Every structure is written in structure tokens, then in C-alpha cells.
């Protein structure tokens, strides 16, 4: 199935990355040792400029794009083939300023540690070093674009500069691989919403029947909506908030209910939402819906499946054995996948304990991950995704 060039590039890039591992790890150490919490524009932009300089040194053409969360790096490498592929990452972390001073980058015999080493400065290193090494070979792609955004951890919607990726054949997201190496080929989508109820206040003792009880209407709706939990396989729907009432002796005139809905597919998401909004009659209490957004499902389409299977096969070629899995959390890969761009996630170094002081990556996984990503780029150039249409 895999083309000869894909296998050859995977091996070549893996071998070169292993030979130059100190260079890659020096980059990771430099980036981990500067804190870049979401919202700290000065720190984020400083690191984006460093990443731009490094990508230029590695043969890419960097562009820094202003976005509300800070500068986004889009660094391009042009090749001799036809594939258009993006390597997607982020350089913000969840750790406040001062964290790196307390526990800077360090490595022991097997692992590297430090704030953001897995989520996901290690992944940005895999992206940039894969590009650096692909630049030294036959360049089996038309465009390879390394992207690092400044606000993945803190943003509600998709990446503001993500529109530039719409004409890509595939997007590889470099969040770290799961602890046993698995890549991520599916993520649930979520929708958060509120139901607002508007009734009429009245004195609860003097004129109760003049009132229209918003609390009771919401309570009935909460029970009905809660029944949708599990109505389809793996569909979860939890009522996460319920509030109404102005005083002990007043018929409640208003209130609201909050809910968290999650599914594997857009079809299930739409279905459940439609069911949730089939309000009952509540004798003069009006209900309205407020959409609070949420990430779309990252579905395992035939294109995604082809990428996952090719990645696993390439891993096997390199003696780096792993499988694929579904993940609960969201990444920027969710947004590109929802746009219909074949996307594969978890291609960064193997690691775990994200968002904790114990966050780590396996040092020996950097080079084979570079090889897998390089092989995937070459496989797409050789027509991997044409078979699935």
C-alpha cells in the first residue's frame, strides 16, 4: 500500500533526526524554558518570533500573522511534488509566568520534562525538524506549511488563521501521542447551550395563580432533556445548571438551564439538539434557546482512516509500533477535520500527563515520529488520499 518513496523518506528522516537529536532537544529546551501562557501577548509573540527565526534557519519561509490571541506562525516549504500538507501546533501553554524558572526543561535517561514539553512544544519541534529534514531530500510535496498558533488552550472557536489551511490535502496535528504511542483519529464534538424561561412574577401567597412559574417549567424540561443521555451510542447529555427564582414568596418569573452535549458525529449532535429543543407546553412560560458553541466532532472519515492506517504502517516499518485511538479532549485538529480536511492528530512525541507538573515525553520517540510524519507527507504526494476520494 505505501509507496516506496514514503517508506524511504520515513527511514531517511528518522535516521537524520536520530543523528541530530541534540539539535532537536536543544530547540525543545529553549522553548520550554520560556513560559507562554495564553493571553500573555508579549511572551507569546516573543516565542513566535523565535520560531520564525528557527524556521527560516531550517529553510522555510516564515510569516507571522496577527490574530487576536497573538502572532501565529505560518512557515512554508515548497517542494517538487503536488501534495499540500499542514503540520499544525500551538506554542501557548496552560502554565503561568514563572513556571519554567521553578521547574525548567530537564531530561533523564528516558524522558524529557518541563512546562509544555508534551502540550505541545515537543510537537512543534517534531513539525519544524521534519520540515528541516524533508527540505534536504527530494521534497515529495508542493507545499508543506508548519503552523503554530498562540491561543489553542484558551480559545472557544477554531484558529483565526485556519482559513489558510482550507485548500490543504491533509492536516497533521502534532499534539503528543498517547502514552502507548497511539495516534488520535477521532474526537467527540460538544455543544453547550442554555434554555431561558420567561414566566410572570406574582405574590406566591396572595395571587399565586396570576403567576407563570418559570422554575417548574425548567424543572420539567431538565428531566425531559436529561432523558436524552445515552439515547444513541456514546451520546452524553448532562444538565449542568439550573437556576430560577427571585425571592421566597414570589412565583419565579425567569430562570435558565445549562447543558453539555457530546457525540462522535455531527449527525448525532444535530439530532440530539433537535430533540432537546422540542419544548413542552408550560402554560404561559416562554422558553428560548441560547447556543454557547462548542467544538465540532472530529469524525473518522475514510480520509482520516487512510491517514491513520498509513501512520501505523509507517510506524511498523520504523520499529515504532502503535495503534490509533479516540480522545475525549479537543484540539485544533477538531476544527480542520470538521471542515472536511483529512486530519490526523497525536503525531507529536509520545508522552502524557498534560497540564500537570509531571508532563513528559519519551525522548526516543522524537526521531521515529519525525519519520512517520515525513512518510505520511510523501504517501499523500503518491496518491494515498486519491483512493478514498
- Which residues contribute to the site for Zn ion (CB under 5 A)? 119-120, 175
* Nearer to Zn ion (CB atom), residue 113 or residue 279: 113
Q: Which is nearer to Zn ion, 173 or 228 (CB)?
A: 173
State how far the Cα of 120 lies from the Cα of 56, in Å rounded to an integer: 20
Cβ neighbour number for residue 249 with a 10 Å cutoff: 10
- Nearest Cα to Cα of residue 127 among 88, 180, 170: 88
Measuring CA to CA, how many Å separate 291 from each of 13, 196, 271, 321? 46, 11, 15, 42
d(CA 68, CA 78): 28
Tell me the closest approach of the beta carbon of residue 154 to Zn ion, in angstroms: 11
Provide, rounded to whole angstroms, the least separation between the CB of residue 361 and Zn ion.
Answer: 13
Q: Which residue is nearest to Zn ion (CB)?
A: 119
Can you tell me the distance from the alpha carbon of 149 to that of 236, in angstroms, rounded to the nearest whole number?
A: 30
Taking the complex as a whole, the smallest distance from the CB of residue 123 to Zn ion amounts, in Å, to 8
74 or 139, CB closer to Zn ion?
74
To Zn ion, the closest distance from the beta carbon of 198 in angstroms equals 40
Residue closer to Zn ion (CB basis): 27 or 381: 27
Nearer to Zn ion, 120 or 251 (CB): 120
Taking the complex as a whole, how short is the minimal distance between the CB of residue 176 and Zn ion, in angstroms?
8
Q: Which is nearer to Zn ion, 255 or 351 (CB)?
A: 351
CB of 124 to Zn ion, least distance (A): 10
**92 and 344 in contact (C-beta within 8 Å)?**
no
φ, ψ at 145 (rounded to 5°): -120, 115
Amino acid at each position: 500500500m505505501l509507496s516506496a518513496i514514503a517508506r524511504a523518506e520515513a527511514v531517511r528522516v528518522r535516521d537524520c533526526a536520530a543523528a541530530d537529536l541534540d539539535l532537536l532537544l536543544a530547540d525543545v529546551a529553549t522553548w520550554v524554558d520560556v513560559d507562554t501562557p495564553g493571553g500573555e501577548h508579549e511572551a507569546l509573540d516573543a516565542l513566535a518570533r523565535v520560531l520564525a527565526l528557527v524556521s527560516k534557519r531550517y529553510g522555510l519561509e516564515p510569516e507571522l500573522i496577527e490574530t487576536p490571541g497573538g502572532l501565529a506562525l505560518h512557515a512554508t516549504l515548497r517542494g517538487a511534488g503536488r501534495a499540500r500538507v499542514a503540520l499544525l501546533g500551538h506554542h501557548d501553554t496552560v502554565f503561568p509566568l514563572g513556571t519554567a524558572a521553578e521547574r525548567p526543561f530537564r531530561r533523564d535517561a528516558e524522558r524529557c520534562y518541563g512546562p509544555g514539553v508534551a502540550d505541545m512544544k515537543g510537537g512543534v519541534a517534531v513539525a519544524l525538524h521534519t520540515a528541516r529534514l524533508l527540505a534536504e531530500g527530494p521534497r515529495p510535496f508542493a507545499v508543506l506549511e508548519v503552523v503554530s498558533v498562540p491561543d489553542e488552550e484558551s480559545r472557544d472557536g477554531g484558529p483565526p488563521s485556519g482559513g489558510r489551511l482550507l485548500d490543504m490535502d491533509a492536516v497533521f496535528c502534532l499534539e503528543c501521542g498517547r502514552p502507548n504511542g497511539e495516534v488520535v483519529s477521532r474526537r467527540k464534538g460538544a455543544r453547550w447551550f442554555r434554555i431561558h424561561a420567561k414566566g410572570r412574577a406574582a405574590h406566591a401567597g396572595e395571587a399565586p395563580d396570576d403567576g407563570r412559574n418559570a422554575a417548574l417549567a425548567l424543572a420539567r424540561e431538565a428531566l425531559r432533556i436529561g432523558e436524552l443521555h445515552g439515547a444513541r451510542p456514546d451520546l452524553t447529555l448532562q444538565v449542568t445548571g439550573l437556576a430560577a427564582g427571585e425571592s421566597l414568596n414570589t412565583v419565579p418569573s425567569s430562570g435558565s438551564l445549562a447543558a453539555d452535549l457530546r457525540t462522535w458525529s455531527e449527525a448525532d449532535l444535530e439530532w440530539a439538539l433537535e430533540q432537546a429543543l422540542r419544548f413542552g407546553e408550560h402554560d404561559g412560560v416562554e422558553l428560548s434557546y441560547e447556543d454557547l458553541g462548542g467544538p465540532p466532532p472530529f469524525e473518522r472519515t475514510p480520509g482520516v482512516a487512510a491517514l491513520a492506517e498509513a501512520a501505523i504502517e509507517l510506524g511498523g516499518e520504523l520499529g515504532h509500533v502503535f495503534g490509533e485511538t479516540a480522545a475525549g479532549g479537543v484540539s485544533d485538529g477538531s476544527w480542520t477535520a470538521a471542515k472536511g480536511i483529512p486530519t490526523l492528530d497525536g503525531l507529536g512525541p509520545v508522552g502524557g500527563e498534560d497540564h500537570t507538573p509531571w508532563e513528559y515525553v519519551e525522548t526516543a520517540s522524537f526521531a521515529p515520529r519525525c519519520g512517520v510524519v515525513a512518510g505520511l507527507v510523501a504517501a499523500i504526494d503518491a496518491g494515498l488520499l486519491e483512493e478514498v476520494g
